[in-house]
Amino acid sequence: METVSTSKAHGGTLSVHAHESAATGTKMTFSVFVPPQAESGAKLPVLLYLSGLTCTHANVTEKGEYRRACAEHGIVFIAPDTSPRGEGVADDPAGAYDFGLGAGFYVNATQEPFARHYRMWDYVAEELPALVAANFPVDLSRMGITGHSMGGHGALTLGLTYPERFRSLSAFAPIVAPGQVPWGHKALGGYLGEDRAAWRAHDATALVEDGKRPAGAILIDQGDADGFLAEQLRPALFAAACEKAGVDVTVRLQPGYDHSYNFISTFMEDHIRWHAERL
């Protein structure tokens, strides 16, 4: 594992690392914030943050404003990239932002030419936690997951599928029902093929309908001025499925907030506290 950069923040250490991934067959980059409580030698709870379309690890690292809250609550914060990258990695042939590079959708692709590298599900669920545990003072029995937009989709689907691994779960403006919105139709169709039954394993609303349950309650924040709300995000679909299934979900519609990191950074401290209370 290569250390790309390291710096001090809020008494802890922020660092960026690169490594050769067995899951994706490419070099992957992620950032880590280790709070000052690590100096005691204790293993700390860890929170994975999954970013949205077009993002890398750098977006939340630079704009997420999570370090002070993580330092206060003793949370290790991990931010991976959103897709494999590098020479030979397939991209959207038209260069669109919502498929291919920067838009891995946190699935294991089965369709060529994406199946070779686009294995973000395995990377986030298996490889990255193991790598972090081998190199940082974390307790994987106290691991939570959150994310934004496409990353909120990934957080919800991974959290619902592996409640024994992800003990706390939240999301910012997630794509809650990709099987019912244009972003999801393009991504799931392109990565997984046209059999929509296979999409259900990567659709949070469908997972709840099919009996999957989180480890505990779910927190979702959504801005009501988000330009993607009506067509792509549709949190009411997930809320309705959870209500029917008896899943404890809180969906907070935040007046005046959009889809940007101005929104995310405003409510990041609430989410860090939410996870800290459960981890």
Residue 169: per-residue pLDDT: 98
What does the pLDDT average to over 167-185?
98
Q: Among the options 17, 117, 202, 259, which is catalytic?
A: 259
Catalytic, 226? Answer yes
Please count the other Cβ atoms lying within 10 Å of the Cβ belonging to residue 83. Answer: 28
Residue 206: per-residue pLDDT: 98
116 is written with which tokens?
A: 């070779």
Residue 271: per-residue pLDDT: 98
Categorize the per-residue pLDDT at 209 as very low, low, confident or very high, splitting at 50, 70 and 90.
very high
The per-residue pLDDT for range 259-277, each reduced to its tens digit, is 999 999 999 999 999 999 9
d(CA 166, CA 103): 22
Residue 18: per-residue pLDDT: 98
The per-residue pLDDT for range 106-149, each reduced to its tens digit, is 999 999 999 999 999 999 999 999 999 999 999 999 999 999 99
Residue 136: per-residue pLDDT: 98
d(CA 101, CA 130): 24
Residue 260: per-residue pLDDT: 98
d(CA 153, CA 106): 8
The per-residue pLDDT for range 10-28, each reduced to its tens digit, is 999 999 999 999 999 999 9
Residue 31: per-residue pLDDT: 98
Q: What are the residues whose beta carbons fall under 8 Å from the beta carbon of 265, sequence distance 6 or more?
A: 63, 64, 65
Mean pLDDT of the chain: 98
Residue 234 phi, psi dihedral angles, 5° rounding: 50, 55
Q: Among the options 149, 168, 170, 221, which is catalytic?
A: 149
What does the pLDDT average to over 66-89?
97
Q: Among the options 57, 226, 271, 275, which is catalytic?
A: 226
Q: pLDDT > 70: what percent of the chain?
A: 100
What does the pLDDT average to over 38-64?
97
d(CA 97, CA 187): 11
d(CA 167, CA 156): 12
Residue 138: per-residue pLDDT: 98
- E strand or H helix that includes residue 61: helix 57-63
Residue 185: per-residue pLDDT: 98
Long-range contacts formed by 141-144: CB under 8 A, 24+ apart: 141/167, 142/44, 142/45, 142/46, 142/167, 142/279, 143/45, 143/46, 143/47, 143/48, 143/167, 143/279, 144/45, 144/46, 144/47, 144/48, 144/168, 144/169, 144/170, 144/275, 144/278, 144/279
Catalytic, 98? Answer no
Torsion on CA atoms 37, 38, 40, 44, rounded to nearest 10: 80
Cα-based distances in Å from 126 to 22, 23, 65: 11, 9, 27
Residue 226: per-residue pLDDT: 98
Catalytic, 149? Answer yes
